[in-house]
Chain A
């Protein structure tokens, strides 16, 4: 079953229980500030996400909704990288997702224009 990514912070809070944020962060191998932000609903980068999933003992694919067998050709896949803060609010993360789609549309429109000439 797929878990909504918004559940990540709640799962962390539940598993941490009454233990201190510093001790837990050290165990996960992230900074206390990062752990606190993720618990408060901010989204982590992939490296932090992987560490948190390992600590929670949850398969990352359950959050991502990724299918096990990727039949898509590698060259068709889109890869994106952001230069940004280590965690961002869910609103900004959603908008950065929209930015990827807008950039893809711009590239496609330009490619069509070049082909049409």
Chain B
């Protein structure tokens, strides 16, 4: 990850909350934030998808994908896998919004003559950045420090912010909040 990106991501996450009129420790709802950014969000099950394709993506092979972002005539559209639980959809949506905020440009999609699609990707660097910013938008560092010092468990914080335990553990570890808590416990 490029030098200074992590601090930049924390600043972007803090200003996103300020823009939405939220306190630094408040939960930022990904769906409300998408609306604020002018991004359209659909669940795959809401779309007018042919039955064979709906069945392929939502019944037979739902674990092969979690989301899609489309830039169509200047409008961003995010489609989420409706079979995934709400915490996972929240994480997917915030990750996709992070790509949009960071103005990452994926390779373009080309449809082969047989109708098959070659799937574009962001670079690993861009994926890492979106992971970091997405998690910072979901779980603000000041809230993690405050709630952990008040004795909230990671699972309780995850539930409060509508995210998975896994991402909350990752965020507490990566921001150094857990280390600070351990240091405090030893000092106290």
Residue of A5, A83, A98, A111 with most partner-chain B CB within 10 A: A83
Interface residues of A in 62-97 (CB under 8 A from B): 63-66, 75-85, 88-97
Q: Is the CB of B70 within 8 A of A79?
A: yes
Q: Is the CB of A103 within 8 A of B117?
A: no
The binding surface of chain B is classed by DSSP as mixed
Q: Is A116 an interface residue (CB 8 A)?
A: no
Interface residues of B in 39-86 (CB under 8 A from A): 40, 42, 44, 46-50, 52-53, 56-57, 60-61, 63-75, 77, 79
Partner of B106, one of A81, A94, A95: A81
Residues of A within 8 A of B106 (CB): 79-81
Interface residue stretch chosen among B22-30, B107-115, B140-148: B107-115
Q: Is the CB of A92 within 8 A of B56?
A: yes
The binding surface of chain A is classed by DSSP as helix
Residue of A at shortest CB range from B123?
A47
Q: How large is the interface on B (under 10, 10 to 19, 20 to 34, 35 or more residues)?
A: 35 or more
- In the bound complex, CA of A99 to CA of B79 (Å): 8
Residues of B within 8 A of A15 (CB): none
Q: Is the CB of B77 within 8 A of A63?
A: no
- In the bound complex, CA of A100 to CA of B107 (Å): 15
Residues of A within 8 A of B107 (CB): 46-47
Q: How far is the CB of B107 from chain A (nearest CB, A)?
A: 5
A residues adjacent to B (C-beta < 8 A): 2, 4-6, 43-47, 49, 63-66, 75-85, 88-100, 102-107, 110-111
Query: With contacts A6-B114, A94-B53, A106-B47 known, what are 8 further pairs, Cβ within 8 A?
Result: A5-B116, A64-B110, A81-B96, A96-B65, A96-B68, A102-B53, A106-B48, A107-B73
B residues adjacent to A (C-beta < 8 A): 40, 42, 44, 46-50, 52-53, 56-57, 60-61, 63-75, 77, 79, 92, 95-96, 99, 105-122
A sample of 28 inter-chain contacts (CB < 8 A) reads A4-B112, A43-B117, A46-B119, A64-B112, A75-B74, A76-B73, A78-B70, A79-B106, A80-B70, A81-B106, A81-B120, A82-B119, A83-B67, A85-B64, A85-B65, A88-B64, A88-B119, A89-B64, A91-B61, A94-B53, A94-B116, A94-B117, A96-B57, A96-B117, A100-B117, A102-B47, A105-B48, A106-B46
